[in-house]
Amino acid sequence: MKLFRNIITVACVVIPFILKAGEPLTANGKCAASQPAAVDLQPLQGTWEGVMVGQEKDGKITITITGNSLHFHRDKNFWFETTIALPAGKNPKQLHATIKACPRSQADSIGKVVRAFFKIEDGTLTLATIGDDAEETPKGFEAAGTRYELRKVQPQKKNTQPPKTK
């Protein structure tokens, strides 16, 4: 009788999950809340190289996005490790980067959120910052104060062949 009661209990707990297995997750589930963000982040994943428009002389900018982490690097004195979020329903798309680490000279930036908007067209990521006190996203990328133009870098394949000898 005790075994029968255990089987009934397990069946009552498991059957509802099986019946709902084909249905999409609702917002109540932890996975559902983060799922759209992961999908929206997918086109940004990888390493991007380019310049700050109008400041090309300052050198190359490299941005690497893995998951929801963004690493911004210009040189040894100007780099940032951030965690990013993409607010839903923004047009153009926005990116909010919370600074987690940076050089000592920029230490007062830790914890600050950098707001930007972006687009990816023809293999180019255009990323423009939104001023701290700006209520609205600028109407166009050209109107933004700081703008980056970056192209995706293909990962280098490692040569697994031994060097040829003559």
Per-residue pLDDT band at 154 (split at 50, 70, 90): confident
Instruction: Give the Cα-Cα-Cα angle 38, 102, 142 (nearest 5 degrees).
Output: 65
Residue 66, token pair as written in the block: 């893995």
By C-alpha distance, which of 158, 97, 88 is closest to 128?
97
8 compared with 160, residue with greater pLDDT: 160
Residue 148, token pair as written in the block: 């980056």
* Domains along the chain with CATH numbers: 39-153 (2.40.128)
pLDDT digit string, tens, across residues 4-18: 444 444 444 434 444
Q: pTM (2 decimals)?
A: 0.69
Taking CA atoms, 107 is separated from 77, 102, 104, 164, in Å, by: 11, 6, 5, 49
89 compared with 16, residue with greater pLDDT: 89
CA 115/CA 156 separation, integer angstroms: 31
pLDDT digit string, tens, across residues 40-65: 899 999 999 999 999 999 899 999 99
Rounded mean pLDDT of the chain? 78
